[in-house]
Each structure stands twice: as structure tokens, then as C-alpha cells.
Amino acid sequence: MGKPNDLVQGTLGLLILKTLSLEPKHGWAIAKRIQQISNDVLQVQQGSLYPALQRLEQQGWIRSKWAETETGRQARFYSLTAAGRAQLEKEREMWSRLSAAIDLVVDA
Amino acid sequence: MRWLDRVQKSGATLFRRERETARLDEEMRFHLEQEITERVARGATPEEARRNALREFGNPTSLRDEARLGWDWGWLDTLSRDVKYAARGLRRSPGFTITAIAVMALCIGATTALFTVVRAVLLQPLPFRDPDNLVMVYEHWRSNTGGNPYNPVAPGDFYEWRNSTHGFEDMASYYNSGYNVSGDHGELPEVAEAQKATWNLFPLLGVEPALGRTFREDEDRVGNGHVAMLTWSFFQRRFGGDPSIVGKTVRLNSIPYTIVGVFPKWFAYPSARTQLWVPYSDGTTTERLHEHDNHYPLVVARMKPDVSLKTATQEVSALQYRMHMQYLGKPVAEDAMSRPMIDDVVKDVKTPLLMMMAAVGCMLLIGCLNVSNLLVARGAARQKEMAIRGALGAGRFALLREQMTETAILCAFGGALGLTLALAGTGWLKVHWHGLPRAESIHVDGFIVLFTLGVVCVTALLAGLLPALSVTQKGILGALKDSSRAAGASVSRARLRKALLSVEIALTVVLLIAAGLLLKSFVQLRTSDLGIAGEHVITMGYSLPKDQYSKPEQNIAFAESLLERVRRIPGVESVAIGAGVPGSGYFGDRVFIIPERPHYEDNKQPDAMTRYADPTYFATLGIPLIAGRVFNEHDRVDQSKKVIVSQELVKRYYPGENVLGRTVVMGTDITNKKQAYEIIGVVGNTLWRVGEPTKATMYYPVSTADPGQRLTLVARTSGDPLNYAVPIQKQIGALDPQLPVVDVLTISQIVGESTVNESFSASLVLIFAALSLVLAGVGLYGVLSYVVTQRVPEIGIRIALGAQRGQVLGMVLRDGMRPVVIGLLIGAGVGAGVGYVIRSQLYGTRPMDPSVFVAMLATLVVVAAAASAAPAWRASSVNPIEALRAE
């Protein structure tokens, strides 16, 4: 099963925000990107992306609009809002603090 | 702009829910297609690619639902699902649903209707400028220790107060009056109720006229022109809303008055019956305006912002005491008292209104308990369903929410229906509650709708929470292994229902006792003896205008011809003219001196209610002559100084003495020979108003009545007296077509009119009590039926083992009567307290009236026994074989 562990699931939002910080993407591209970058370690269950996207949009951190893909098909593209960028910084910082702490405990 | 994004998203997910959902589906489909394409490109067969892509993606439908939960309106989905389930459940048992909705509609409707009245009458501020600073100031006699300590103010006292004290910003005064209204062009004559007010009353209240202006100071002086103001309703009714009315004239008692203004529609002060206003000093004399011993006007004052009511009243009171000392021997009160205007306006209806509100609240509570009881019974049937759903993972909160949704739906429907009922009920109350102050301001508005909504929420909680908790509380395991053979399994639920029932019965008993006491009071009032034989008597009032009938001979001539004409109507047995019919009101009194005992303690001067009578008055009304004689034709014509007194007067002021031939001097001056009267007869007592104690009364010859005094024609007829109303009025019209006739009433109508409010509150509370009784009966029946159904196997075993039918019957009856007895005891205790609280509304009975208690408790026991009989009978006729086979 490609289910990510709980820790990663909790940070799915962070992953999405980070992925979108470079350029607007549609859902499938986000999933692919996360998979690629993490060298296939983070096997996000692809479908669970969509509830997360809806939640982020409801929070006002991302924005969506329908546009054509390279193949000429209509798809929903997500982009980061200014508030989303700030949120990304916040979550990124929290994540570093958390992982540093875990490192300390694990390496001790 | 994060908030803008969020609002946009919320809006889209609320208003374009379908489209947003479709987009979500489309988005996911796109994702899958991409994934499949990619996998095919990597060499998988389309079949394989599709399967793997779906596996990696997860279940699109459940993911879509999960995504939707992320929207702001996720709870809407949950709610609509709950509502759908609940509605389905309710449709499945229409009997229960209709009963519950009807109960709720009735209770919520009654509560809303009464609250609408209570709010308009008791809670809303008066429609005047800065109404919290308005107060009424009264005179107060130190000897007046009982009942109503607030006495009207003599005009002389009022002027002194206004001129010589400074605690109030201003003081104004007004008093009741009435006019024969006629026009110059043969318009129908009528009698209109009027108020005479000092010019500053309207600026003091902050009332602006709708047309024209209010009175000027110079118009409120004796002998200065005749001006009048119209109320809106009179203006519309009599003058058709003529916009050029200001400056025109209207004839009041045949004298032309210039109309200077019209009041706005909302101004219905002091009551909606008021049609006209004229200046205080109009048609009176300077002497009368400075009397200190004639008490009839009321005084309104506006408080200064920096002076407390107590301080201001004390200053007036001190002045009043100085006047009391100055006019020692005259009836001038020692003190002044004040109270806020709003308290003054609602003084007569506050207790009955609050009483009815409480009654309706009790009924609402009983209704809630009843629905609650029904729900517990329903819940019992669904126990297993709940348990299974719980076992499959439904959270207790979710189950609770579903249960509550059901109750909320019932209450919402009940509330909507109730609001409609309340609209009708409010209108009905407004029309049928006579003399309800501020009735014109009663209406259902947004606030009332909000109130109903609030009541719905509260009732839903009250009715739903307990059953919902009880249904969902049971451990899953317990419920599932619970077989119907385990007779004790539902004991706790039955106990809950019985406790609810006890409360219901207790409340019903309280209502019944209150209703019983009020009903008994009302019956006592209705049957109280006026002291006359009035079954076949009709009365009607008229007053001869002073200007046209200025000479006594004219008055006498009019009376002679009227009596002669009426006497000739076939069926009229006897006819008379007097002033003041028993039961119809007080109409003033006079103090007098008994020359044999000229000295009396302070303020203890004898006084007697004033009545006028002609020779046939006593015979026509059936007032018995006890001693001496009644007036004769001679007394009538020559205005002789003769009086007839009532038994009460003799008992009070001449105990054990012979009064015939004795002289009394009216007023306070013993040397005034003009005021010396001889007592020629003693007649039986009459009541001036039903429910009030009898009062010493003095009858004068009707020929001595003031010109313009309201007189009453009384006629004894054979058969229904109302049949003679029109023939007699025609005779009056034939004598003077301009003379209006008022208050055409039979004696029983007079009695009915004065007890109409007692009848009203008694019947309303009785209706509430009766409905509560029915609800309690239904509740009891429901509980027992439920218990019996639960116990059928147990009863089957008992019978199989040899229990007699009678024993089973007794067992179930005992079971049913236990909560009744508990409720009865609690209710009787509380009922005694309630009787004490409403004792001011009681007449001829007392809070602990045993006959009322016994009657009401017996009623309840009978109803309870009847409600228990059917289930008990069913239990006793259980067929043991069938009962045991059913397992």
C-alpha cells in the first residue's frame, strides 16, 4: 500500500504549499512532483490530495482556476496566495524545529 | 485578501454546490486519466493501467465526500442527511408525528399569543417622550390602609402643587368627561367619551398633533372660547378623515367648539375609548377649579433628571400636608403618593396577565413532557437499532444528533403552526379582552417570530434531550443481549417515564387548582345578589344638554312626557328615571353631617354614595322598601329636601336608631340650611359593582339632579327586555331627535360587563387546565400501555402460574397510580402556594378552599383512573399461551 505514515500525512499541507510555491500546478502534477522530489519515498495516496486541496483553498492559502493543459485539456490549476506563502514559511519553520528536535532525540 | 478568497470559496461551495461537486469529480477524473495514460505509455495494458491507477488513487466517491467535508458547509451535508433520516422515521409513524406536532403547535401558539400581549402591555415602554421619567401623582389619606392607596387629586390641590413645588419638571392634569356630539346638518347625535386636560399635558407627554396644534395656555382659562381636539379614530369615523377639519366646529352639548387639532393614530391615551379632548377649564368655574375637597382629576408629572422621585414626591407631600392643616375639617388628604406611569397604566391587568402567562408556561412544559414521554416510548422500540448502529461505529454524538434532529423537526413544524395559531389568538385576545390597556400596540412582529424561534429551540431541547440521552446511553452489549424475556431490562426507562409523568401530573394539578379557584370566584361574582329584581329590566342613559334644558321645569316636562310615552308601550309594566343603576358603577359620593353628632374624628366624616330616584324607581328595579315611604309626585316637582337612605347607611351611622324624620346636612357646613335634608325612607342595599362591598347610599329626588347630569331610564317589561330597546329609543327620539342614547343594557348585561374580565381569565386558565388534563391523561395512558406491552411475557407467566385476573388488574393499576399520587401530592402543595399568589384575583373563595381542592383532585383521579383502565384491562386479559409462545 502506498499509504504514507501519519507524520507525513500531517504535513501533506506543507508538501502541497511547497510544491505550489514554484509555479501553479494541477492535482496530478502536484502528486507526481511530490513523488519525484522525494525519490518515491513519500508515496502519497493520490486521491487524498483532493480533500487536502479543498481544505487549503477553504483556508484561503491556495487559489484555483480552470485552464488548458499542454495537451489541450481543461484542468484545475492551483496557485499559492500571499497568505499561503506566509503560511508556508510558518509551517516550514515549524517543520525544521520539529525535525531538528526529533533528530536530537534519535541521535542522542 | 485572504478573507476575500475564503468568502468566495464559501460562497461557491454554498450557492453552487452542485457545480463545485461536479468540478471536483471532473478534476479527479482528469487525474485518473493522466495516470492511466502515463502507465500505458510505460507499457502497461489499458486494463492493468486502469486497475493500478485506481488502487493508487483510492475510492473517488468517498474521497469526494471527504473533500466536501473540508468546505465551510460540511455540516450542511450532515444536517441534510440527519433531516432526511428523521423525516423518514417520522413519516413511518404518522400517528405519533401528528400528535406531537399538534401538541407542540397548541402549546407554542398559546405561549406566543400571550407573550405578544404581555410584551405589548407590560414590557414595551409607553409611546411618549422619555417615558421612564413620567409618573402619576396621587393624594393619599393616612386612614386609607387597605386596597388602593392612590386617590384622585382635587383640582385646587393640583394647581397648588404645580405652582408651589419645584421637584418635578412639570405637572399636568386631566379628568374624564363626556359630551353629546351633534352637527349643524342633522348628523346622528352620539355620546362621546372625552378627557379634559390642562394645556401642558401634551407638551409634557411629548405628543405632537397629526393635524393642527394642541391647546394654547390662554385657551385653558375659565370662560375663554370653546376649543376641542379629536382623536384619530373619532376624526376618521365621524369626520371621514377630512383634511380641512382644523378650524371647523363641532357641537358638544349643543355648544359650538372649534377644532384646533387632531391627534396621531397611535395616541390612544388614557384609553382607546377617548374620542375628544377639551381644555381643563372649559365649562367650569374658577371656584370649582380651586376646590380642595372634590377629588376626581388625575395628575401626570415629569421627573427632573437630577431629582429623585422620592424627593420630588416628598416636597409635594409636605405641601399637601400644609393644605390639609389649612382646610382642617374638609376632606383634604394629608399626603401625596406617586408611581411610575407604566405601573399605573397596567395596574389592573398585570396580575391576570402574568397569571395567564404562567398558566400557558405550565401548559408548554406539560406539552414538552408529553412529547418527551412519547419519544421515550419510540426510543424503546429503536433500542436495538441504535445498538447495532453503535456497534458498526456510529459515535454516540452522531446518534444523539439524529435523535435531536427528529425532535427539532417536530418542534419546528409545531412552532410554524403555532405561530399561525398565535396570529389568530392574538387577534382574538385583543378583541375579547375588554379594557385591556395599550391593546392598540399589540401586534406580531419580527421580535415575536424570534421569540417563537427561541421557544422552539427550548422546547426541542426540553422534549428531546432526555429521551435522546436515554436511548443512546445503553451499552451496546447490554442492548444486544437484552431479550424481551428479561422483564427488568427496561425498568430504568419506565422509571424515567414515570418521573416525567409525575411532573406532568403535578403541573396539571397546579393548573387545575388555579383554574378551579378562578372559576369559583367568577361563579360567585355572577351569582352575587345586586339587591334588586332585575331579570326583566332594561336601562338606557341620556343627558339633557344644559343649554337647551336650563330650567328645572323643562327637565321635569321632558321626564313627564317620556315616562308617559314609554308607559304606553304594550308590555312595559313599570318605568322610572333615576341616576346610577346598581352594578353599573360608583358615580361619586358626598359627605354629610349628622346634626346630633356633629363632631367626628379626623377624616371620619360620614359619607354616602349619591343616587337619584323618582317615585317609581324602587318598584321598577325591585329594591325593597324597608321603612318609611318612597318619593311621591310632590317630592318630584318641588325639589323638596327629602332623601331616602340604604340599610347599610342606617347600620353604619345610626345603629339601632330610628332614622325616619331625622335631618342630615350635606357637605361640611352644619349651618347651611340649604343643604339640610329629611330622611323619609329606608330601602334595601344594592351593590354598585359586582364583587365590591356594599356602600352606604343616599337617594335624592331626580328633580334635584344637576342640569346635564347623566340620567337613566329603567323599564320593567314582560318577556325579554331587549325587545323593548328600540321602541323606547324611538320614543326618546320623538321627543328630541338630537338627544343621543347610550348604554342600552339589561341588568344581566351590566353584570356580565363588569365580570367580563373575571370570566375571561377564568375561562382561559380553565381551557389551559383542561388541555393539560387531556395531555396528562394521554401521557399516563401511553406510559401504562408501554409498560404493559413490556411486561406481557411476565404477566403471561404470572397467569400461567395461577395469578387471578383481578390481581393482575390491580397490579397494573397500582403501577399506574403511583406516579399519579406522587404528582398529586406535589401539585396540591404547589397549588396551595399558587392560590395564595393569585388571592387578589379571588372573590368569595380563598386560596385553600377545600371544595375547590377536593373537586379538582377528584377530577384528576377520575381522569387518571380512566386512562389506566384500558391498559390494565389489556394486561388482565393476556392469554398466557400466546404470550409465552411469542418468545
Q: Grid coordinates representing B811?
A: 397490579
> How many C-beta neighbours within 10 Å does residue B174 have?
20
Contact B24 A54 (CB under 8 A): yes
Task: Note whether B508 and B859 are within 8 A (CB).
Answer: no
HSE value, Cβ hemisphere, 13 Å, CA-based, for B438: 26
- The interface predicted TM-score of the complex, written ipTM, equals 0.84
Q: Evaluate if residue A6 carries a pLDDT over 70.
A: no
A38 reaches B (C-beta below 8 A): no
CB atoms A83 and B35 under 8 Å: no
Contact A54 B57 (CB under 8 A): no
Residues of chain B with pLDDT under 50: 484-489
By the CB < 8 Å criterion, does A35 face chain B?
no
Q: Which three cell numbers stand for residue B794?
A: 411476565
In angstroms, rounded to a whole number, what is the distance separating the alpha carbons of residues B551 and B682?
30
Contacts of B23 in chain A (CB under 8 A): 66, 76
3-state secondary structure of B795: helix
C-beta atoms surrounding B257 within 10 Å: 21
The minimal CB distance from A2 to the residues B6, B24, B56 is found for B56
Distance CA B171, CA B264 (A): 22
Evaluate whether B501 touches B554 at the Cβ level (below 8 Å). no
Residue B672 makes CB contacts below 8 A (sequence gap 6+) with: B665
3-state helix, strand and coil shares in percent for chain A, rounded to the nearest 5? 60, 15, 25
CA distances (Å), origin A26, targets A31, A62, B28, B310, B636:
9, 12, 10, 78, 112
Q: Residue A66: list chain B partners with CB under 8 A.
A: 23
- Cα–Cα distance, B431 to B442 (Å, whole number): 11
pLDDT, tens digit (0-9, with 9 covering 90-100), for B71-119:
766 677 778 888 888 888 888 888 888 888 988 999 999 999 999 999 9
Q: Which residues is B301 bridged to in the sheet?
A: B135, B171
Most A CBs within 10 Å: which of B14, B34, B54, B72, as the mutation test of the A interface?
A: B34
Minimal Cα–Cα distance from A96 to chain B, Å? 26
Is residue A91 within 8 angstroms of chain B, CB to CB?
no
Closest alpha carbon within chain B to A71 = B34
pLDDT of residue B485: 45
Neighbours of B557 (CB within 10 A): 13
The minimal CB distance from B27 to the residues A31, A50, A63 is found for A50
Q: Is B22 on the interface with A (CB under 8 A)?
A: no
CB-based contact B779:B369 (threshold 8 Å) = yes
Supply B722's cell numbers: 331587549
Is B56 within 8 Å of A50 when comparing Cβ atoms?
A: no
H-state helical runs in B193-296: 201-205, 232-239, 286-289
Residues of B with CB below 8 A from A27's CB? 27-28, 30-31
pLDDT at position B147, please? Answer: 67
Report the pLDDT value the prediction gives residue B488, as an integer from 0 to 100.
45
DSSP H or E segment with residue B698: strand B697-701
Q: Are B69 and A2 in contact (CB < 8 Å)? A: no
Cβ of residue A83 closer than 8 Å to a chain B Cβ: yes
Pairwise CB contact (< 8 Å): B9 & A57: yes
Chain B: nearest CA to A95, how far in angstroms?
A: 23
**DSSP β-bridge partners for residue B663:** B678
Beta-carbon separation of B24 and A28 below 8 A: no
Measured at the CA of B661, the angle between CA B657 and CA B667, to 5 degrees, comes to: 90
Contact B71 A60 (CB under 8 A): no
Please list every residue in chain A whose beta carbon sits closer than 8 Å to the beta carbon of residue B49: none
Residue B71, chain A, CB below 8 Å: the answer is yes
Report the gap between the CA of B12 and the closest CA in chain A (Å): 10
Residue of B nearest to A3 (CA): B56
Q: Which of B4, B24, B27 to probe the A interface (max A CBs under 10 A)?
A: B27
A47/B contact by beta carbon, under 8 A: yes
Q: Is-cis flag, bond preceding B270, omega within 30?
A: yes
B787: its cell numbers: 409498560
Give the closest-approach CA distance of B8 to chain A in angstroms: 9
- B558 and B544 in contact (C-beta within 8 Å)? yes
Cβ contact A26–B9 (<8 Å): no
Q: Tally A–B CB contacts below 8 A.
A: 84
Nearest to A75 among B13, B30, B71 (CB): B30
What domains, with CATH codes, occur in chain A? 6-107 (1.10.10.10)
Q: Do A28 and B58 touch (CB under 8 A)?
A: no
Nearest CB partner across the interface for A51, out of B30, B31, B66 = B66
Cell of B450: 424570534
Assess B6–A contact: CB distance below 8 Å, yes or no.
yes
Query: Is the Cβ–Cβ distance between B703 and B615 less than 8 Å?
Result: no
Residue B847 has what pLDDT? 84
Residues of A in contact with B17 (CB under 8 A): none
Q: What is the pLDDT at residue B137?
A: 95
How many of the other CB atoms lie within 10 Å of CB of B756?
Answer: 13
Please judge whether B31 and A31 are an interchain contact, meaning their C-beta atoms are less than 8 angstroms apart.
yes
- Contacts of residue A63 in chain B, CB cutoff 8 Å? 5
The answer to whether A13 contacts chain B (CB < 8 Å) is no
Residue B72 contacts A, CB cutoff 8 Å: yes
The DSSP bridge pattern shows strands B168-182 and B190-197 to be: antiparallel
State the CB neighbour count (10 A cutoff) for residue B581: 27
Q: Nearest C-alpha of chain B: how many angstroms from A101?
A: 31
Residues of B in contact with A31 (CB under 8 A): 31
- Pairing state of beta strands B255-262 and B249-252? antiparallel
Q: Could B28 and A50 be called an inter-chain contact, meaning their C-beta atoms sit closer than 8 Å?
A: yes
Contact B34 A2 (CB under 8 A): no
CA distance B607 to B830: 43
Q: How far is CA B421 from CA B63, B99, B108, B109, B418, in A?
A: 47, 16, 9, 5, 5
CB of B181 closer than 8 Å to CB of B250: yes
Does B678 contact chain A (CB < 8 Å)?
Answer: no
- Give the minimum alpha-carbon distance from A103 to chain B in angstroms, rounded to a whole number: 31
Residue from the list B5, B23, B60 with its beta carbon closest to the beta carbon of A47: B60
Q: Which residues, listed in sequence order, are joined to residue B742 by a DSSP beta bridge? A: B541
For the four alpha carbons of B513, B516, B518 and B524, in that order, the dihedral sign comes to negative
Residue that wins the pLDDT comparison between B829 and A71: B829
For residue A23, the distance in angstroms to the closest alpha carbon of chain B comes to 18
In chain A, whose CA is at the least distance from the CA of B20? A54
C-alpha cell belonging to residue B93: 409513524
Instruction: Look up residue B702 and give its DSSP letter.
Output: G
Q: How far is B65 from chain A (nearest CA, A)?
A: 8
Among residues B127, B883, B83, which one has the least CA distance to residue B406? Answer: B83
Report pTM. 0.72
